[in-house]
Amino acid sequence: MFAPFLDALLLQAGYNAGLVTVGAALLGIAGGSGGTFLFLRKRSLVSDGMAHATLPGVGLAFMVMVALGGDGRSLPGLLLGSALSATLGLLAIEWIVSRTRLAEDAAIGAVLSVFFGFGIVLLTIIQTMSGGYQAGLEGFLLGSTAGMLFQDALLIAIGGGLIVGLVFVLRRPMTLVAFDTEFAAAAGIGVRRIDLAMMGLVMAVTVIGLKLVGLILVVAMLIIPPVTARLWTERTERVVLVGGAFGGVSGYVGAALSASAPNLPTGPIIVLVAFALFACSLLFAPGRGVLAAVIRHRRFQWQVHRRQGLLALAREEPILDPLTLSVLRKEGLIRQDAVVSEKGRAAAAKALLDERRWAIARQRSEDGSLDSHWDGLTPIESVLTHDEIAEIDRQIGPPAAVR
Amino acid sequence: MTLAALELARDEGRIAPFPADQSPLVIRELTVSYGDKPAVFSLDAAIEPESMTAIVGPNGAGKSTLLKAALGIVPRLSGRILVFGQPISQSMHRIAYVPQRASVDWDFPTRVIDVVLMGLYRELGFLRPVRRHHRERALACLDRVGMADFATRQIGQLSGGQQQRVFLARALAQNAELYLLDEPLAGVDAATEKAVIDVLKTLKVEHRTVVCVHHDLATVGDYFDNVLLINGRKIAEGPVTTTFTAENLQKTYGGRLATAHIDELKLPAAS
Amino acid sequence: MGAEFVQLSLTPLLIGIFAAIACALPGNFLLLRRQALIGDTISHVVLPGIVVAFLVTGTVSTWPMLVGAAAAAVVAVVLIEIIKRVGRIEPGAAMGVVFTSLFAAGVLLLEQSDTSGVHLDVEHALYGNLESLIWFTAEDWSSLTDPRALAGLPPELFRMVAVALGVSFLTVVFWRPLKLSTFDEGFAGAVGIPTTAIGLGLVITAAVAAVAAFDAVGSIIVIAMFICPPAAARLMTNRLERQVLWSVAFAVLSAALGYVLAGYGPLWLGGEHAVSAAGMIATVSGIILALACLFAPHRARVGAPKGT
């Protein structure tokens, strides 16, 4: 299993398979970076509606091509049909949202299911149309790379490359629009045009991805890599880059894995590779990861209880919260019998002094800029300079001893 | 144990001078956080029975969070809440709640009277049918806020002030002893403001307790007996006459509230 | 057409109708909670749930499949919540991550396991096989009173009727807490309604309806029936009670009309073969929604959206 995988990774698994792998990688980059703009505009699932809406276009294109005496299976023709019906789906979503009281999620769901259902009707017509003639259009549902024609693989690779180029050219205005629509408009960028370009990009990824990943799963290439990237960075330009990288890796590794063994369908494998990257990121990413969040929450809760406990000690109030008592005990601030230790007395005095300094500092602050730091946990030393604190201390007078 | 501790706290003068087990709402060492920023930090407060209390503080000071924590609908990081001397789980039926108007979708397919009937949920339960006397009570509550004529309207057709009155009517239908209201006067017309305040004052006369998140500093003195000033933590609590001072406001709002503005409020001078 | 209709069309028609009702009922609440796409998510994750249930038990039987699909729906909802809360990712994208990944896992498992001996494949999952659920033992309308003929009714019919009744029963019993927590979650919590449990219960009910329907009619109908009839119904009235009744009426109409059009429409047009009933039912529900968007009395928005 490993040797064929390595072969596929190094593009040694045959000319077609190599081309498909490169195409998948390019498509991954295009989807990951292009999907970022959609994600930042909070419209990720519009792409799901569009992807499902491609099916009737595929069916109709096939019927038209057969009626004109053609083969019906010509990939460019089918993709053109799918693009047209995806556009119709997008327009239907926007029409429902602007004309009725229905929200966008309902519009997406309605368009998705109805277009898809109608597409299935067309597929059953095609199945019976020319006497058992297998059109193989089912391959568009989940993608199929088995027995893919050379020119189809080439089309995917070239298409993927073109979309990547397009993202590169449009990255600046699209970043601006996604980040701050109003500012972009004020800066003279045609927001409507850029939005259209964004949708065009999404459409291109969807259409090119149909044969490879299938229309049910192609949205994953537009959604999972940007979300993964978002877990790692807070900056828009980097989300685009990192999203593209995650998408590219998913496409490349997924296609190679799928080529290395039977019964590993390309589309699902690419999606699962993307998800594996996402799952690792969700667990281990520094800012938004689960692990980091758990540790942060624990530490935060500990600090809150420590501070509350110390202030209660300083003010000689009873401590009722069992967690507070346990925190103070574990830090050696009180003894097992709840009597204050020497260390606890010093810490309590320090906490009380910090409180008093904060009270004075806030009164002296004219613009309220200190308020955002005043959460009961930030030591004043981290906000004010040494001299400012000395000034405050003169106002307080000598510190009171804590018994 | 809890009560004993409260007695102790009262003896130390940290809690208002009325018996702790009679206070409609006692909050002890409450900390609530969203993420890693505490919205409310180590807050103690006790509400005086049969009074009207305003919770006042700047935006993001944790006023709404405080109400929600008191109702037990947001999780607390530490601290405890006692309603009439009991944990919230046993005293929920004694509280009525008016959430912020903007917290719901007013396009929801329902009528005004149906919203007020929601206040009778505890009585009606899952399946008990709505009888004529329920409907009459709901109508009476609507009448108290001057909205009886709107009973069969779709809620989306109401103005902001009318929506607020419907929410108040729903709380009246709950027939509680403690009323917690989140910004009931935010963005409403003058007529609604008067109607709401009249109803709240009647509630007080009926020996009920009212706690309001309130944003308009100019009217605190006219409408309320007590004030609880918070900004993440408690700044001060007590009667408006002694607590709602320029000094305390300066402490609550930091430098944000211009001194000139405080002067306009004609408050008792800082001691 | 009596005898032929009873034998070939009556049971699929009824199964389609009950499936549509079972999905449309929870769909009303999902729509109002801005969770319409949870229906989409559920219908995608039903596949891995069923496949895992099959791999664990080794048979295609109803109860393990129901449990597997409901479990998959719960896993999906929990995953979405974690991604939303911990990763601070907007709900739509979080949903997109979860349902595509779980669906991909389902397809992969299906390809990897030996399901040649049983009726389980992706296309069946999408289209269902409504047309094949015929009543072999029926001869004509009199079979309805013939115990021997009745014994030969397809088991899917009983299952679907039971689920539709169960969903209706739950909708009636939990009507007040459901309505209240959908309208005003904060107030619902303050009067003691366990809002989280109600929300999860709604999703599980939807998942059970989805898997029962999925078994008989495929997932296209499931998504379409979750969304289209409730959406069209919302435009017909401003009262939830009536909206739910309208949605049931639209669901029944879609199922009946869709089935008839799929079976007999092509014949009328001179074709020889029926088209996919599942696809046609979804199409009809879409046409009903489009008509509602154009002409329904309450199609325009009145109230301010949430948060303004």
pLDDT digits over C258-272, tens only? Answer: 999 998 888 887 777
What is the mean predicted confidence (pLDDT) over C64-80?
A: 88
For residue B102, the chain C residue with the least C-alpha distance is: C307
Q: Is residue C125 part of a domain?
A: yes
Comparing CB atoms, the residue among C82, C231, C266 nearest residue A110 is C231
Whether the pLDDT of residue B71 is over 80: the answer is yes
Comparing CB atoms, the residue among A304, A323, A368 nearest residue B38 is A304
- For residue A319, give the DSSP letter: P
What is the mean predicted confidence (pLDDT) over C205-221?
A: 84
pLDDT at B19: 60
| CATH dotted code for B2-264 | 3.40.50.300
Report yes or no: C93 at the A interface, CB cutoff 8 Å.
Answer: yes
Kindly list the residues from chain A whose CB atom is less than 8 angstroms away from the CB atom of residue C221: 117
CATH of residue C172's domain is: 1.10.3470.10
**Strand B233-239's sheet: what is its strand order?**
B95-98, B178-182, B209-213, B52-56, B226-231, B233-239
What is the mean predicted confidence (pLDDT) over A213-233?
A: 93
A261-270, C22-31, C50-59 — most confident range: C22-31
pLDDT at A366: 59
pLDDT at C303: 55
> Of how many residues is chain C composed?
308
Inter-chain CB pairs, B–C, below 8 Å: 96
pLDDT at B270: 46
pLDDT digits (tens, 9 = 90+) for A285-324: 988 888 988 898 888 888 888 888 888 888 887 787 788 8
Per the structure, how many domains does chain C have? Answer: 1
Comparing CB atoms, the residue among C104, C226, C234 nearest residue A101 is C234
Q: Is residue C181 part of a domain?
A: yes
Report yes or no: B104 at the C interface, CB cutoff 8 Å.
Answer: yes
Three-state DSSP at B45 gives: strand
pLDDT at A341: 86
pLDDT at B256: 60
For residue A95, the chain C residue with the least C-alpha distance is: C293
How much is the mean pLDDT over chain B?
86
What is the mean predicted confidence (pLDDT) over B111-139?
A: 93
Strands B95-98 and B178-182: parallel
pLDDT digits (tens, 9 = 90+) for C176-195: 999 999 999 999 999 999 99
pLDDT at B10: 46
User: What's the whole-model pTM score?
Assistant: 0.88
Whole-Å CA distances, B35 to A293, A297, B68, C93, C231? 9, 8, 16, 21, 36
Q: Is residue C260 part of a domain?
A: no
Comparing CB atoms, the residue among C90, C285, C298 nearest residue A114 is C285
Whole-angstrom distance, CA of residue C161 vs CA of residue C138: 19
The shortest C-alpha distance from C141 to chain A (Å) reads: 30
- State the burial class of residue A12 (Cβ atoms within 10 Å of its Cβ: 0-12, 13-18, 19+): exposed
Q: Tell me the pLDDT band of C308, cut-offs 50, 70 and 90.
A: very low
The more confident residue out of A280 and C125 is A280
CB contact under 8 A, A320 and B5: yes
Alpha helices, DSSP H, located in B98-176: 112-117, 121-124, 132-144, 160-173
The shortest C-alpha distance from C171 to chain B (Å) reads: 11
Whether the pLDDT of residue B269 is over 60: the answer is no
Select from C302, C172, C193 the least CA-distant residue to C244: C172
For residue A233, the chain C residue with the least C-alpha distance is: C87
Report yes or no: B3 at the C interface, CB cutoff 8 Å.
Answer: no
CB contact under 8 A, A227 and C93: yes
CB contact under 8 A, B126 and C32: no
Q: Two tokens at B110?
A: 């329902």
For residue C233, the chain B residue with the least C-alpha distance is: B109
Query: Which chains contact C through at least 3 pairs of Cβ atoms less than 8 Å apart?
Result: A, B
pLDDT at A229: 95
What is the mean predicted confidence (pLDDT) over B180-192?
A: 93
- State the burial class of residue A402 (Cβ atoms within 10 Å of its Cβ: 0-12, 13-18, 19+): buried
Comparing CB atoms, the residue among C40, C226, C279 nearest residue A117 is C279
pLDDT at B266: 64
For residue C230, the chain A residue with the least C-alpha distance is: A106
Three-state DSSP at B106 gives: coil
Domain boundaries, chain B: 2-264
Interface of A with B in 355-394 (CB under 8 A): 359, 362-363, 365-371, 374-377
CB contact under 8 A, C112 and A263: yes
User: A342-364 and A290-314 are packed helices; what angle lies between their axes, rounded to 10 degrees?
Assistant: 100
Structural class in CATH, domain A2-283: mainly alpha
Amino acid identity at C40? D
Domain boundaries, chain A: 2-283, 291-396
Report yes or no: C78 at the A interface, CB cutoff 8 Å.
Answer: no
**Residue A229 CA, distance from chain mean position:** 6
**φ and ψ of B231, to 5 deg:** -150, 80
The shortest C-alpha distance from A119 to chain C (Å) reads: 7
Comparing CB atoms, the residue among C182, C183, C302 nearest residue B154 is C302
Select from C97, C51, C45, C53 the least CA-distant residue to C74: C45
Domain that holds residue C80: 2-215
The shortest C-alpha distance from C173 to chain B (Å) reads: 6
Whole-Å CA distances, A85 to A51, A66, A111? 10, 18, 11
Whether the pLDDT of residue C64 is over 90: the answer is no
pLDDT at A12: 72
Select from C11, C20, C281, C5 the least CA-distant residue to C155: C11
Amino acid identity at B54? A
Question: Could you tell me if the ipTM is greater than 0.90?
Answer: yes
pLDDT at A182: 81
Q: Tell me the pLDDT band of C307, cut-offs 50, 70 and 90.
A: very low
